[in-house]
Amino acid sequence: MQNLPFGIFSTQKLRDRRAGVAISDKVLDLKAVSKAGLFTGPILSKSAGPGGCFDQGTLNSFASLGQPAWKEARYTVQHLLSATESILRDDHQLQADCLVPQEEAIMHMPVSIGDYTDFYAAKEHASNMGALFRGKENPLCPNWVHLPVAYHGRSSSIIISGTDVRRPRGQVHGGGEGPPTFQPCNVMDFELEMAVIVGPGNADGTPIPVDQAEEHIFGLVLMNDWSARDIQRWEMLPLGPFNSKNFATSISPWIVTLDALEPFRCSAPQQEPEVLPYLRETNRGNYDIPLQVAIQPEGTQQPHTVTRSNLRHLYWTLPQMLAHHTAGGCNLRPGDLIGSGTISCPAEDGKGCLAELTAGGKVPTSIGGKPYRFLQDGDAVTISGLCEKDGLKIGFGNCIGKILPARPGPV
């Protein structure tokens, strides 16, 4: 009753994709709720009818309506499901029409993603990766403490949790003077991330002020930015990662709103040196979201947790990312995806990717008593996130992907 995340689902019987809200072991079918005329608030009574914002294959239209609409939907759903409200409680046919067992729901991409941006907002990750890629003397580039570094990613290959991920082939260079080879990636990694789904967005040329940025966050999902480190190392100079990232990025299906996360607001790391005024926040904060990554090699009985981190460690907050992204005039559109970058934290098991956990493969970690460096074919990677406080639980579910062997391919 507190989480109420939004997603897009279908079932064997209900073939058309539609909007839903997860409630314990059920999904509330918002298309059916709309059809029954139960969205009676000022915004959704107009926007949620047939063909309206819940009767579409994506949540882009609902995301574009903004915070007042999201709050209205949340209020209506809470009201409908409250013990004292009889409309749904006492109408068994309506219950059957509106509530679907979660195991019957087939989850789909919650939004059509126009553009996907990935930030690099955790200081531990940027320092660890900088040390690996450029050496320990200057792990952080000079700009890193002044602006949230980011790059544009690939929208077309973003996939929903549960979709298998094929190991890419690509150019790899062993160092020295010889030519590169084209081969299956040999240094396959996950990246533990979370991502913003953008709400209304901004017009081209009109920046989003940092103190208004939360109004443009429809909600958060878990994300795994699969990375082919050997391809990345060779290709990324001077314009950044390309084929090492664009083969697949997985997201979890349920979008958790900031309203649901409000009880878990917490402080964010202090920034030193002080940032420029357009990045200064009146109420700076993060969210306390414990995150885990588990790997289950094929043929083993259970997943093995390799990483425990938390969104609270992000040096650059979500509002700072949106403010910086739009500061030069770039427009965000409803449904755009904005990744946090890998969320590493200072703890020894708090590193958000295998490159960090194994010092670039030099110091293996251990799974099932065996040394483990990078992802093997058949390995399933599960990212999960669960906030808990005073009996209140807000879960993100899972973001899962399993590695398939590389295709036979050109040399």
Q: Quick one: which of 35, 166, 265, 304 contacts a second copy (CB under 8 A)?
A: 166
Minimum gap (Å) between residue 327 Cβ and a second copy: 6
Is 232 assigned a ligand-binding role in the annotation?
yes
CB atoms within 10 A of CB 134: 12
Q: Are 14 and 101 a contacting pair, CB within 8 Å?
A: no
If we measure between CA atoms, which residue out of 259, 225, 208 comes closest to residue 337?
225
If the CB atoms of residues 60 and 246 are measured against a second copy, the closer one turns out to be 246
> Considering the rule CB under 8 A, would residue 389 count as an interface residue with a second copy?
no
Minimum gap (Å) between residue 384 Cβ and a second copy: 25
Q: Quick one: which of 141, 347, 363, 392 contacts a second copy (CB under 8 A)?
A: 141
Q: Quick one: which of 217, 248, 255, 258 contacts a second copy (CB under 8 A)?
A: 248
Minimum gap (Å) between residue 276 Cβ and a second copy: 5
Q: How far apart are CA 123 and CA 110, in angstroms?
A: 30
Q: How far apart are CA 56 and CA 228, in angstroms?
A: 35
The set of catalytic residues is 125
Token output for 404: 């398939």
> Considering the rule CB under 8 A, would residue 50 count as an interface residue with a second copy?
no
> Considering the rule CB under 8 A, would residue 282 count as an interface residue with a second copy?
no
If the CB atoms of residues 141 and 363 are measured against a second copy, the closer one turns out to be 141
Cα distance between the two ends of the chain: 54
Q: How far apart are CA 196 and CA 220, in angstroms?
A: 5
Token output for 298: 């094929």
Q: For 316-347, give the DSSP string.
A: S-HHHHHHHHHTTSPPP-TT-EEE------SS
% helix / strand / coil in the chain, to the nearest 5? 25, 30, 50
Minimum gap (Å) between residue 376 Cβ and a second copy: 18
Residues 101-130 vs a second copy: string with x where CB under 8 A?
A: -------------xx----x---------x
Only one of the segments 65-73, 175-183, 255-263, 299-307 lies at the binding site for a second copy (rule: CB under 8 A); that segment is 175-183
Q: How far apart are CA 346 and CA 409, in angstroms?
A: 40
CB atoms within 10 A of CB 253: 26
How many positions of this chain bind a second copy (CB under 8 A)? 70
Minimum gap (Å) between residue 27 Cβ and a second copy: 27
Residue type, 50: P
Q: How far apart are CA 230 and CA 184, in angstroms?
A: 10
> Considering the rule CB under 8 A, would residue 278 count as an interface residue with a second copy?
yes
> Considering the rule CB under 8 A, would residue 189 count as an interface residue with a second copy?
no
Is 169 assigned a ligand-binding role in the annotation?
no
Give how far Cα 403 sits from Cα of 166, 224, 377, Å: 6, 13, 5
Burial zone of 333 (CB within 10 Å; 0-12 exposed, 13-18 middle, 19+ buried): middle
Residues 65-104 vs a second copy: string with x where CB under 8 A?
A: ----------------------------------------
Only one of the segments 28-36, 77-85, 141-149, 382-390 lies at the binding site for a second copy (rule: CB under 8 A); that segment is 141-149
Q: Which residues bind a second copy (CB under 8 A)?
A: 114-115, 120, 130, 133-134, 141-143, 146-147, 149-157, 159, 166, 168-171, 173, 179-182, 185, 204-205, 207, 209, 228, 231, 234-244, 246-248, 273, 276-278, 324-325, 327-333, 336, 407, 409-411
